[in-house]
Amino acid sequence: MAAPARPLFVLFGSSIVQLSFSHGGWSSHLSDIYSRKADILLRGYYGWNSRRALQVLNQVFPKDAAIQPSLVIVYFGGNDSMGPHSSGLGPHVPLHEYIENMRKILIHIQGLSEKIRIIVLSCPPVNEEKVRGNTSGIFSELVRTNELCQSYSEACIKLCKELDVKVVDLFNALQKRDDWMNACFTDGIHLAAEGSKIVVKEILRVLKEAEWEPCLHWKSMPTEFAEDSPYDLVAADGKTTLNPSEWTFYREIQWG
């Protein structure tokens, strides 16, 4: 492993996490924002629900790991909230079980370290019409409705408040855009670049407002190897060098 060790941020969830480096995804933005401040580790699994997450929880987050994360961002709920299939197969998890599964996941992560911090992303909405239109011969019927998404989102938020865990209300955050149904998704479910920008903005807001010591907002964290160097680019005066360690002008968005 490269040294010195930076703080570790782990993103744990289903396809909203696995695909978060695709299509201008939200974890690609976080990796850029924290490029000299923290390491972003992706643990996303397409199609997973909270049951599958529990099966591997001890492997993804072993209690005896030499290095524990500083921050874990957790997302499960979109697949859990799908309507049940008549066969009994598929990702659907009843709401009461989903909440208990999430409780176990969050309590396990809280127990890894006294310093560990958690942010949960609640279930986002979907473009129902587009989801129905994308059903192909590969899948059986996909039952995804905003009524179900909202109920799982609200239950997740309630649980997080109970456990004193920070949460991003994605169901309502995405819908603040008038054109959210078309702008925020690639296929009616997974996030397009515009949807991911909203996720990043909400995560940074939580990190900025949280009264955590140390603060994990990027502007408050030290930059690795930020000292001046005679090997930096020479300034216009021809006598000094320009320290580029904090430059952000190249970013499309100047994140707050």
Question: Which residue type does 249 have?
Answer: F
Nearest-angstrom CA–CA distance, 180 and 126: 9
| 217 is an active site residue | no
Can you read off the two tokens belonging to residue 202?
């909400």
Q: Are 78 and 48 in contact (CB under 8 A)?
A: no
Given 50, 190, 196, 217, the catalytic residue: 190
Q: Is the bond preceding 94 in cis, omega lying within 30 degrees of 0?
A: no
| 190 is an active site residue | yes
122 C-beta neighbours (distance < 10 Å), count: 24
Given 187, 220, 228, 229, the catalytic residue: 187
Given 14, 70, 153, 196, the catalytic residue: 14
| 169 is an active site residue | no
Burial class for 59, CB neighbours closer than 10 Å (0-12, 13-18, 19+)? exposed
> Which run of H or of E encompasses 40?
strand 39-44
Nearest-angstrom CA–CA distance, 102 and 125: 19
- DSSP states of 148-196 as a string? HHHHHHHHHHHHHHHHT-EEE-HHHHHTTSTTHHHHSBSSSSSB-HHHH
Q: In whole angstroms, what separates CA 229 from the centre of its chain?
A: 35
Q: Give the residue among 81, 72, 140, 79 at the shortest CA–CA distance from 106.
A: 72
Residues known to be catalytic? 14, 187, 190
